[in-house]
């Protein structure tokens, strides 16, 4: 540092920084401000002026430097020193008791265990790392093993300390990594949406989406304008000397000036935990931020290592999910939407109502039969809830509140999009538009084609697809592969970089696996698993196109209805022309032989020990606690196995989750080996 800076100035700058950091802590963490906003602004202005007059005094740890420069190349990737695993969910008191029994069994203990119960904040998980007391970096959770470096954005959040105070007593170390949640409270969320509405910007759907969108911004100045908040709840890699219980470690985080949720409890038994779940089912409505459950953790940290983790989640923690919230509102109108297969779905237009963290204005009504069964009428007062806390649906009608002015709904006879006559069939509930050129069908087919499980064209979202159809005349899948960067740049919100990224994503999709293309084609009744079965059986697109009904029925999991649908699809002249067009555009899916060759190479690289899963066929039934069915399928396939949707003599294992269905009975009848979840996880880990 230059000696030209008077010592009194140096001391004043250091004093100002300490005072401002202290006031940030008091205001943003403790919510106990000691000075007025005007007094705070005067301190900040004085510090800014001194740093401007003496540039050599500037420091990245100064509170004036929270807002950094705009990024130009996107976020770099950071590998987490300690993985950020997800948490298994429970939905009932019985499941909580099962969790308690499982933990005690694994630990070899009897009697009551002590747990810490915390609110599960509906935000975005992050980690912040400090080295020698200073913020080194911050990152998103990502896939649990790697995340985006969002340090510049996290620095703008005043409840994230730039420097940590010392604990003293020999407890301080050089490194500490702290995990937490970034979120928006309801007032902050509404403020952002009011501003976006005034500026003509699309509104955020809910506080979590607004938070995620904010943290993805490349310009920290934008993030700084949004009232993001934090709660921290865990410690990752560290060499600090920490106390033996989780509850005490949360207190250490508070001593380090992190914002920790005050609504936490130490429960001395699982029955006390259950009492807390009953309390918070209704008490959560008093909070000004979204929470979708409680997190229950074994209090003694020494047990965590003994309990370990599954491939996806730790065994010492579980989330209890609240029951779906409900609200009452007015059904103002019923409109119909057309999907990619031509199915026409009725949708309720509601008087906007706040429900489970979002403003709900529409809800699915499924089909005409559902409307008739529930006697839903325009003008009714209806009870709505979020199925799985995601999709709003009408649960029931409050018929006792009817005034006589409510009107029964009549299903339209013509397509609401293209005007073509609708098909009403006695064989199925669905009503269909059979015009393949219907714009709504085209848009949905393109979206399905580009989704991650299909051709994985990143950036092909709803708003862009609407523009592609309306302004660039995209009608068929092949049209996507003829799009130029210049044409894309003519669309709204598509700059050169976005256009180039989309062109590259479309080009990369040309060599997606065969099953991804089959699924992306949107053949009726062919889901993701059926697409994988077909790809594995036929090995090439050409062989599948030529397959007879009998050959299709020879594929495990393919029945009469699916076989008929596949045969009809490939015999259709328009579909044949569409496929020829895709091939002419250079789409060359990686076919079965190529996939098998790569699997063999991977096996050779792993050495002579073969996975006990390789070559085996699995059927999944019921709900697994540690992973979704899709994740289980991915784990099986990564180890050389396959999954099927039906049990047959060719099935090797049936994996049985909770609420298993008829597949379990069929497995018993055929003498197929069944695996519970723990046995399945052991097999995944190579422990037969």
* CATH 3.30.1490.150 applies to domain 610-684: no
SS3 category, 291: strand
Instruction: Round to whole Å and give the CA distance between 133 and 176.
Output: 8
Instruction: Name residue, tokens 């990752």.
Output: 236
Classify burial at 8, counting beta carbons within 10 Å of its beta carbon; exposed 0-12, middle 13-18, buried 19 or more: exposed
Asked if residue 645 has pLDDT above 80, the reply is no
Q: Which of 120, 276, 297, 443 is catalytic?
A: 120
Per the model's pLDDT, the better-predicted residue between 58 and 243 turns out to be 243
Residue 120 falls in the annotated catalytic set: yes
Delimiting residues of CATH 1.10.150.20 domain(s) in the chain: 442-584
| pLDDT surpasses 90 at 661 | no
310-364: pLDDT as tens digits: 767 899 999 998 877 788 999 999 999 998 888 898 999 999 988 766 788 998 8
Instruction: Please give the CATH number for the structural domain made up of 89-321.
Output: 3.30.470.30
Query: Could you write out the DSSP letters of every residue in 206-227?
Result: SHHHHHHHHHT-S-HHHHHTS-
Q: What is the pLDDT of residue 582?
A: 95
pTM over 0.95: no
Q: In this predicted model, which residue has the larger pLDDT, 385 or 659?
A: 385
The CATH number, out of the four listed (3.40.50.300, 3.30.1360.70, 3.30.470.20, 2.40.50.140), of the domain defined by the range 326-432? 2.40.50.140
CB 339 within 8 A of CB 345: yes
Q: How far apart are CA 540 and CA 595, in angstroms?
A: 11
Length of the chain: 688
Q: How many helices (H) and strands (E) does the chain have?
A: 26, 24
- For 372-420, give the secondary structure using H, E and C: HHHCCEECCEEEEEEECCCEEEEEEECHHHCCCCCEECCCCCECCCCCC
DSSP 147: E
CA-nearest of 573, 509, 583, 508 to 541 is 583
Say what percent of the chain tops pLDDT 70. Answer: 93
Please, what's the b/e burial string for 114-134 (b: 16 or more CB within 10 A of its CB; e: otherwise)?
bbbbbbbbbbbbbbbbbeebe
Alpha-carbon span 663 to 3, nearest angstrom: 80
Q: Which of 170, 173, 165 is nearest to 253 (CA)?
A: 165
Q: 273: closest CA among 91, 92, 117?
A: 117
pLDDT, tens only, 231-255 = 999 999 999 999 999 999 999 999 9
DSSP 8-class letter at 27: I
Q: What percent of the chain has pLDDT over 90?
A: 47
For the chain, residues classed under CATH 3.40.50.10190 are 610-684
The per-residue pLDDT for range 533-591, each reduced to its tens digit, is 898 888 899 999 999 999 999 887 788 888 998 999 999 888 899 999 999 999 998 76
Under CATH, what is the fold of the domain 7-65? Helix Hairpins (1.10.287)
Residue 149: band (very low, low, confident or very high) from pLDDT cuts 50, 70, 90: very high
Q: Is the four-CA dihedral 78, 80, 86, 87 of positive or negative sign?
A: negative
Q: Where in the chain is the domain with CATH 3.30.470.30?
A: 89-321
- Across the chain, mean pLDDT equals 87
Position 687 scores a pLDDT of: 59
Report the pLDDT value the prediction gives residue 311, as an integer from 0 to 100: 67
Determine the average pLDDT of the residues in 143-154.
90
Distance CA 224, CA 156 (A): 5
**Residues 6+ away with beta carbon under 8 Å from 317:** 87, 88, 295, 296, 297, 298
The pair of three-digit structure tokens given for residue 329, joined into one six-digit string: 């509102």
Confidence (pLDDT) at 606 = 40
CATH topology of domain 442-584: DNA polymerase; domain 1 (1.10.150)
Tens of pLDDT along 367-410? 888 898 899 999 999 999 875 445 688 989 999 999 999 999 99
> Which segments of 64-111 does DSSP mark as H helices, in order?
93-107
The per-residue pLDDT for 437 is 80
pLDDT in tens, 584-626: 999 998 765 444 444 444 444 444 345 678 778 888 888 787 7
């Amino acid at each position: 540092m230059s000696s030209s800076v008077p010592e009194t100035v140096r001391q004043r700058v250091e004093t100002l920084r300490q005072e401002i950091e202290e006031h940030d802590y008091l205001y943003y963490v403790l919510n106990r401000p000691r000075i007025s906003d005007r007094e705070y602004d005067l301190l900040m202005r004085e510090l800014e002026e001194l740093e401007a007059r003496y540039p050599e005094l500037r420091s990245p740890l100064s509170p004036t430097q929270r807002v950094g420069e705009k990024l130009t190349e996107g976020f770099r990737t950071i590998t987490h020193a300690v993985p950020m695993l997800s948490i298994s969910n429970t939905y009932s008191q019985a499941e909580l008791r099962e969790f308690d029994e499982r933990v005690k069994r694994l630990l070899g203990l009897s009697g009551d265990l002590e747990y810490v119960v915390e609110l599960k904040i509906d935000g975005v998980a992050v980690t912040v790392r400090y080295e020698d007391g200073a913020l080194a970096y911050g990152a998103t959770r990502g896939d649990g093993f790697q995340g985006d470096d969002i340090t510049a954005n996290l620095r703008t959040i005043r409840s994230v300390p730039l420097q940590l105070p010392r604990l003293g007593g020999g407890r301080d170390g050089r490194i500490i990594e702290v995990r937490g949640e970034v979120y928006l409270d309801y007032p902050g969320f509404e403020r952002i949406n009011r501003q976006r509405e005034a500026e003509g910007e699309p509104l955020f759907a809910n506080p979590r989406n607004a938070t995620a969108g904010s943290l993805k911004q490349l310009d920290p100045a934008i993030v700084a304008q949004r009232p993001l908040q934090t709660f921290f709840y865990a410690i990752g890699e560290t060499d600090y000397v920490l106390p033996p219980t989780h509850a005490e470690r949360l207190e250490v985080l508070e001593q380090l000036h992190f914002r920790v949720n005050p609504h936490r409890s130490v429960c001395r038994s699982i029955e006390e935990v259950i009492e807390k779940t009953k309390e918070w089912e209704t008490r959560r409505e008093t909070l000004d931020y979204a929470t979708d459950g409680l997190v229950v953790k074994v209090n003694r940290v020494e047990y965590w290592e003994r309990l370990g983790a599954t491939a996806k989640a730790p065994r010492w923690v579980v989330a209890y999910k609240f029951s779906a919230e409900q609200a009452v509102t007015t059904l103002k109108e019923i409109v119909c939407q057309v999907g990619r297969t031509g199915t026409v779905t009725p949708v309720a237009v509601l008087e906007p109502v706040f429900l489970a963290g979002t403003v709900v204005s529409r809800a699915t009504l499924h089909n005409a039969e559902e409307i008739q069964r529930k006697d839903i009428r325009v003008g009714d007062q209806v009870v709505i809830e979020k199925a799985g806390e995601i999709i709003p649906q009408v649960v029931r009608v409050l018929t006792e509140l009817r005034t006589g002015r409510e009107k029964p709904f009549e299903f339209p006879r013509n397509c609401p999009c293209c005007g073509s006559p609708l098909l009403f069939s006695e064989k199925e509930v669905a009503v269909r538009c059979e015009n393949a050129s219907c714009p709504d069908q085209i848009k949905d087919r393109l979206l399905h084609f580009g989704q991650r499980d299909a051709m994985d064209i990143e950036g092909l979202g709803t708003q862009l697809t609407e523009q592609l159809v309306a302004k660039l005349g995209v009608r068929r899948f092949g049209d996507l592969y003829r799009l130029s960067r210049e044409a894309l740049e003519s669309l709204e919100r598509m700059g050169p970089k976005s256009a180039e990224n989309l062109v590259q994503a479309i080009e990369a999709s040309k060599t997606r696996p065969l099953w991804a293309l089959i699924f992306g084609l949107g053949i009726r009744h062919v889901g993701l698993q059926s697409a994988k079965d077909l790809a594995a059986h036929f090995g090439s697109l050409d062989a599948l196109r030529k397959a007879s009904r009998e050959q299709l029925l020879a594929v495990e999991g393919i029945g009469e209805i699916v076989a008929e649908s596949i045969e009809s699809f490939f015999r259709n002249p328009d579909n044949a022309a569409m496929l020829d067009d895709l091939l002419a555009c250079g789409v060359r899916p990686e076919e079965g032989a190529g996939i098998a060759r790569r699997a063999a190479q991977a096996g050779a690289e792993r050495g002579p020990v073969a996975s006990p899963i390789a070559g085996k066929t699995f059927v999944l039934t019921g709900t697994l606690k540690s992973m979704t069915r899709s994740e289980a399928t991915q784990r099986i396939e990564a180890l050389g196995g396959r999954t099927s949707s039906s049990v047959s003599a060719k099935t090797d294992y049936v994996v049985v989750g909770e609420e298993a269905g008829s597949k379990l009975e069929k497995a018993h009848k055929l003498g197929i080996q069944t695996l519970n979840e723990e046995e399945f996880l052991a097999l995944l880990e190579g422990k037969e």
